[in-house]
């Protein structure tokens, strides 16, 4: 039994028109998905997470404002579409350690991985699973930080942990984001 195509598809122009309509329909679906849920493509692994990208860009701007003359390094490496490693450093004059209280040049270096878990509960579960050797330092987000500047509001869920051994390791949670890293201060002679 032969299948009979509608008259529209029997001409070359009809087939071309049908293909164009199908392509436009697919593009419209992608556009609507992008507008309704910008994180959709990041969760599929098709692009960097828009929210995380916005936070990192804002953090860079804030860091440049705070250290316009002494920022010595800034590096961003995407580990996948929802996690990024940020490393940065700056120098400043400050007091030495407890044994030598003279003013000296100090190199501050920070490196962390920030991940978007797309939900506060998921991020909290992740942080809760890795913070056993850390001490909770703060649960109140200070105003004016990079998160608030990036998203227009302070984090509603915030936790700041520091390692109990005093090695400079930290864990921070800002809503659906978890930030795990370390910082060091090196004093000049």
Q: Please say whether the beta carbons of 82 and 49 come within 8 A.
A: yes
Residue 36: per-residue pLDDT: 63
The predicted-structure confidence for 146-164, as pLDDT tens digits, reads as follows 999 999 999 999 999 999 8
pLDDT digits (tens, 9 = 90+) for 96-127: 556 666 677 888 899 999 999 989 999 999 99
Tell me what pLDDT residue 81 has: 85
pLDDT at residue 46, as a whole number? 61
So what's the pLDDT on residue 94?
76
Q: The pTM is what? A: 0.70
Buried b / exposed e across 72-108, counting CB within 10 Å, b at 16+?
eeeeeeeeebbbbebebbbbeeeeeeeeeeeeeebbb
pLDDT tens digits, 28-41: 877 766 666 655 65
| pLDDT > 90 fraction of the chain, expressed in percent and rounded | 46
pLDDT in tens, 47-84: 678 889 999 999 999 999 988 888 889 999 999 888 99
Q: What is the pLDDT of residue 66?
A: 87
Hey, is 141 helix, strand or coil?
coil
Alpha carbons 183 and 112: distance in angstroms, whole number: 9
Say whether pLDDT at 25 is over 70. Answer: yes
Residue 142 has pLDDT above 70, yes or no: yes
- Burial label for 8, CB within 10 Å (0-12, 13-18, 19+), is exposed
Residues 6+ apart with CB under 8 A from 27: none
pLDDT at 176: 94
pLDDT of residue 33: 66
Rounded Cα distance between 50 and 88, Å, is: 21
Q: Which of 189, 37, 5, 181 is nearest to 105 (CA)?
A: 189
């Amino acid at each position: 039994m032969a299948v009979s195509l509608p008259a529209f598809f029997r001409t070359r122009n009809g087939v071309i028109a049908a293909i164009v309509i199908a392509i436009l329909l697919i593009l419209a679906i992608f556009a609507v998905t992008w507008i309704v849920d910008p994180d959709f493509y990041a969760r599929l692994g098709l692009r960097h997470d828009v929210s995380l990208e916005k936070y990192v860009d804002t953090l860079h701007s804030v860091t440049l404002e705070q250290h316009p003359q002494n920022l010595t390094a800034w590096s961003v490496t995407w580990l996948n579409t929802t996690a990024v490693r940020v490393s940065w450093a700056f120098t400043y004059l400050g007091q030495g350690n407890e044994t030598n209280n003279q003013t000296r040049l100090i190199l501050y270096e920070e490196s962390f991985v920030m991940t978007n878990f797309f939900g506060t509960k998921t991020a909290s579960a992740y942080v809760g699973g890795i913070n056993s050797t850390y001490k909770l330092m703060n649960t109140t987000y200070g105003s004016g930080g990079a998160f608030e500047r990036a998203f227009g509001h302070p984090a509603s869920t915030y936790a700041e942990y520091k390692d109990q051994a005093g090695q400079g390791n930290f864990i921070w949670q800002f809503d659906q984001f978890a930030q795990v890293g370390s910082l060091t201060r090196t004093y000049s002679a």
